[in-house]
Amino acid sequence: MWLTSCSRSRCLVVLSASGTGQRYIAAALALDLRGIVVESDFSDFALSPKGRFFEDFEEGQVFEHHWGRTINQGDNSLFTTVSLAFVPLYFNADYAARHGHRDVVVNPMLVLCTVVGLSVEDLSEAGGVFLGIEDVVFHQPVYPGDTLTARSRVVARRESKSKKGFGIVSWRTEGYNQRSELVVGYQRSNLVARRVGSSVTDAAAKNARPGDRSER
C-alpha cells in the first residue's frame, strides 16, 4: 500500500496497480483527512505523465541518475537464494576470505539489476519493449555496504521500421561504488514511444515535461 495523491479533502491510497506508460489499472481507497474511507472519485486525482519520449533523446546525451542504492547483506543473501546461485563467494564469508575478499561478494547479477533499476526513471519509465542488454562487463567486486550509483549516455537512436509510433534508443550505462570506482558497464536498448502516434494519450504528451523532478 502506498500514498499516491492528495486533493483538498481526500488522499488516494493504491493497494495494487499494473499497467504500462500512462495507463493504469488500480484498486484504491479514498480517505478523507480523518482517515475515514469514503467513496472513490478518481476524477479528483489527476495522473502526472512519467518518462521521456523518443524525441527527448539525442546521441551523446548524458544522464546522471539521481538515485543511489546501498546493497546490504540481506539483499545479497535473498537474491542469491531465490535465483539459485549457489556460488560460495556469494554466501560463505570464510570461503570468500580464503580467496582474498574482505567479505562475501555481492552476486554480480544483483549489481547489474540494481544499476538497470537506477536508470529506469530517466530512460525507460514511459514504457516500451525491452530489446536486451549486451556488452556487460563487471570491472570489480561489490561488497555488502557498498553504495551503487549510475550514469548513462545515449549511444544510438533511430525510428523503428516495424513499430509505427516508436523509435529505438540505446544507452551505455555505467555503475559506480561510493568511491567513484567503475564496477559494471553495459549497453541497453528499448523501444521508446514517439510524442505523435504513440500509445500515450495526447493529453499526456502535451503535459509531459522530461526532467521536471517536481512531477515525480
Mark whether 65 and 166 lie in a shared domain.
yes
Residues 166-207 pLDDT 10s? 999 999 999 999 999 999 999 999 999 998 744 443 434 444
Run of H or E including 205: helix 202-207
**Would residue 173 count as lying in a domain?**
yes
66-77 pLDDT, tens per residue? 989 999 999 999
Whether 124 and 168 map to the same domain: the answer is: yes
Q: Is residue 156 part of a domain?
A: yes
Residues 119, 27 share a domain: no
Q: Which domain holds residue 201?
A: 54-70+106-215
CATH number of residue 61's parent domain: 3.10.129.10
Q: What pTM, to 2 d.p., does this model score?
A: 0.71
Strands 166-176 and 147-159: antiparallel
- On whether both 21 and 66 belong to a single domain, the answer is no
124 and 202 part of one domain? yes
* Cα Rg of the chain (Å, integer): 21
What total number of domains does the chain contain? 2
Q: Give SS3 for 94.
A: helix
